[in-house]
Amino acid sequence: MFGSQVIPPNKSPHLRKSGSRPVVFDLDGEQGNTEMEGLLHSTEPSDLKIPSLPISAAAIMPSPILLWRFKVLLFFLWGVFCCKIGWDSVMRMSVNLRDLFLYEAFLYYNPLLLVTMMVWLWGVNLWVFAQSTISYAKIFDLDQNHLTHREIWKVATWMTIIVPISMTAYLYLYSHGEVSLAASQPVFLYCAVALILIFPFDIFHLSSRYYLLRTLWRIVFPLQAITFSDFFLADILTSMSKVFSDLERSVCRMVHRQVATIAWFEADSVCGSHSIGIPIILVLPYIFRLFQCVRQYKDTREKTALFNALKYSTAVPVIFLSALKYHVLPDSWTDFYRPLWLLSAVLNSLYSFYWDVTRDWDLSCFTRIFKFNKPSLCSYLLHGRKWVYFWVIGSNFILRLAWTYKLSAHLRHNYLTVFTITALEMVRRFQWVFFRVENEWTKMSSKSNLQLSEISSEEKDKLLAPSDHNV
C-alpha cells in the first residue's frame, strides 16, 4: 500500500491540466501530503491561480472634465491651424485680386457660418428653457424623440468643424493654382448639406429633420391652420433673409460654373449685383409670413392678424427701392428713390420694434423667463432684474434700425459690415426667442387654468343641483 502509485480522485484539487504529464507521489501521512502539495504548487503554479477581481471600466476611464478640456484644446489647435493656413493662402494672392478673392470666398461660406451660429444660439435657448419652468416641448408640440440642447450643440460642433475646413481647403487650393479643385470645395459642401437634410434613412436625427422640412413646407404653402411652430420658424427666417440671398447667389454661380472666377463680378452677369433674383429672395420670407397672417385672419377673424400682415408688408418697399439703384439713373436715385428708401426703412424698423415689445413679448408677463428650477447665479442675475428688460428693449431698438441695412441690395458690397449686422440680427432674434416663447407659455398656462376652473365650477353646480329622485 505504501510506496505504490496512486491516482488522485476526479474531485481532487490537484488534477493536472489537459496535456500535462501525470503526477506520481507517495502518500506518507499529512506531512507527505503537505510536502507534495508544495511540490505541486512549485512545479505547476498555473493550476491554482487565484482569480483576479475584475476592474470596472469607470476606474480606467479619464474623468469627464479631463476629456472636455482635451477636446477644447484640440478644438483650439484646429482653429489656429485653419487660421494659419487661410492667412498664408490669402497672402500668396496679388494685392489687386486679394479683395475680390476674399469677397468671393466669403460669399460661399458666410451663409453656412451664420447658420452654424444660429444653431449654437438655438442650443442656448433650449438649455435655458430646460432649466426653467417653461415646457418648450409642449409649446412646439414635439414628440419624445426631439433633440435636446446637448444634441443641438453636437450638430453645431460638427458644422463648426466642417465648414471652416472646406473654406480653408478652398483658400489653400486656389492660392496654389489648383483652381478646379478649389471650385469643387463649396459645391461638395452644399451638396452634402442638401443630401443630409433629405436623407430618407433613420440616421442623422431623421424625426427632427422631417419635422423641420414639414414645417418649412407649411410655411411655403400655408394651406392649413397656422400653428405656433409655423410662424415661429417663419419669423426666424425673416432674420435670415440675407443668408438665403447669399445662398441663391452661390448656387447661381455653381450652376453657371463661375466658382473660383471673377466673371460674376461684372454688373451684367446673371449672378451679379444687378440680378433681379437678389430682391426676390430677400422678400420671400416676408411674403410667406404675410400669407400666414392672412390665413390666420381667415381662420380666427382677429384684426390683430391683419395689422401683423401690414408690418411684414412694410419690408417690401425697403427691398425693392434699394434694388432700383441699379436700374435707374444716378440723379433719380439720389433725388427721389433714396429718400423714399430711407423713409420706408425707418417706418419698417419702428413698426417692427413696436410689435416686438407690445405684441410678441407683452411686457406685463415677464415672470418666468430665466427663472431656473434650481437656484443658480444666472437666475439670480437675470430673473426679474430691470436691467435685463432695459437691455433687451434698447438693443432690440438699435438692431432693428441697423437691420434694414442688410436688406439693401445696393450696400451688399460692404460684405464685412453686412456680415456683422446679419450676425447681430441673429443675436437680436436669439434674445427675442426667450421672451416670445415665455409669452406663449404664459398664454397656454392661463388658458389651461381657465379651462380647469370652468370644469370645476360645472362639477360643483352638478353636485349642488337639486335631485329629482324620490327616496
Q: pLDDT tens digits, residue range 170-184?
A: 999 988 888 889 999
Query: For residue 361, what is the DSSP state?
Result: I
Average pLDDT for residues 406-421, to the nearest whole number? 71
End-to-end CA distance of the chain: 104
- Mean pLDDT over each residue of the chain, to the nearest integer: 79
Count helices and strands in the chain by DSSP H and E runs? 18, 0
Residue 371, pLDDT score? 63
pLDDT in tens, 101-111: 888 888 899 99
Cβ atoms of residues 402 and 437 within 8 Å: no
Percent of the chain with pLDDT over 70: 73
**Helix pair angle (415-464, 95-131), 10° resolution:** 20
Residue found under cell 415646457: 135
pLDDT in tens, 57-81: 555 666 778 888 888 888 889 889 9
Of 264, 304, 284, nearest in space to 413 by CA? 264
Q: Residue 465: is its pLDDT beyond 60?
A: no
Of 321, 309, 391, nearest in space to 352 by CA? 309
Q: Residue 92: is its pLDDT beyond 80?
A: yes
Residue 217, pLDDT score? 94
Dist CA 184 CA 166 (whole Å) = 10
pLDDT band at 169 (very low <50, low <70, confident <90, very high): very high
Q: Residue 35: is its pLDDT beyond 60?
A: no
| Long-range CB contacts for residues 387-391, cutoff 8 Å, separation at least 24 | 389/363
Which residues have a Cβ under 8 Å from the Cβ of 42 and sit 6 or more positions away? none
For 268, the enclosing helix (H) or strand (E) is none
Bigger pLDDT: 27 vs 92: 92
pLDDT band at 203 (very low <50, low <70, confident <90, very high): confident
Average pLDDT for residues 147-173, to the nearest whole number? 93
Residue 470, pLDDT score? 42
pLDDT band at 408 (very low <50, low <70, confident <90, very high): low
C-alpha cell belonging to residue 452: 380647469
CB crowding 412-427: b at 16 or more within 10 Å, else e: beebeebbebbbbbbe
Average pLDDT for residues 141-170, to the nearest whole number? 90
C-alpha cell belonging to residue 204: 442623422
Residue 43, pLDDT score? 47
Beta-bridge partner residues of 372: 132
Residue 25, pLDDT score? 44
Residue 47, pLDDT score? 47
Residue 11, pLDDT score? 46
Average pLDDT for residues 312-338, to the nearest whole number? 87
pLDDT band at 116 (very low <50, low <70, confident <90, very high): very high
Q: Cα-flanking dihedrals φ and ψ of residue 385, to 5°?
A: -85, 135
Dist CA 445 CA 447 (whole Å) = 5
Bigger pLDDT: 346 vs 364: 346
Cα-based angle 445, 225, 290 (whole degrees, multiple of 5): 100
C-alpha cell belonging to residue 249: 447667389
Longest CA–CA span in the chain (Å) reads 130
Q: Residue 291: is its pLDDT beyond 90?
A: yes
Average pLDDT for residues 242-265, to the nearest whole number? 82
Bigger pLDDT: 40 vs 264: 264
Which residues have a Cβ under 8 Å from the Cβ of 9 and sit 6 or more positions away? none
Tell me which of 142-151, 156-165, 183-192 is least confident. Answer: 142-151
For 351, the enclosing helix (H) or strand (E) is helix 338-355
SS3 132: strand
DSSP character string of 74-85:
HHHHHHHHHHHH
pLDDT in tens, 205-230: 888 999 999 999 999 998 888 999 99
Cβ atoms of residues 235 and 433 within 8 Å: no
Q: Residue 390: is its pLDDT beyond 90?
A: no
Average pLDDT for residues 335-346, to the nearest whole number? 89
pLDDT band at 447 (very low <50, low <70, confident <90, very high): confident
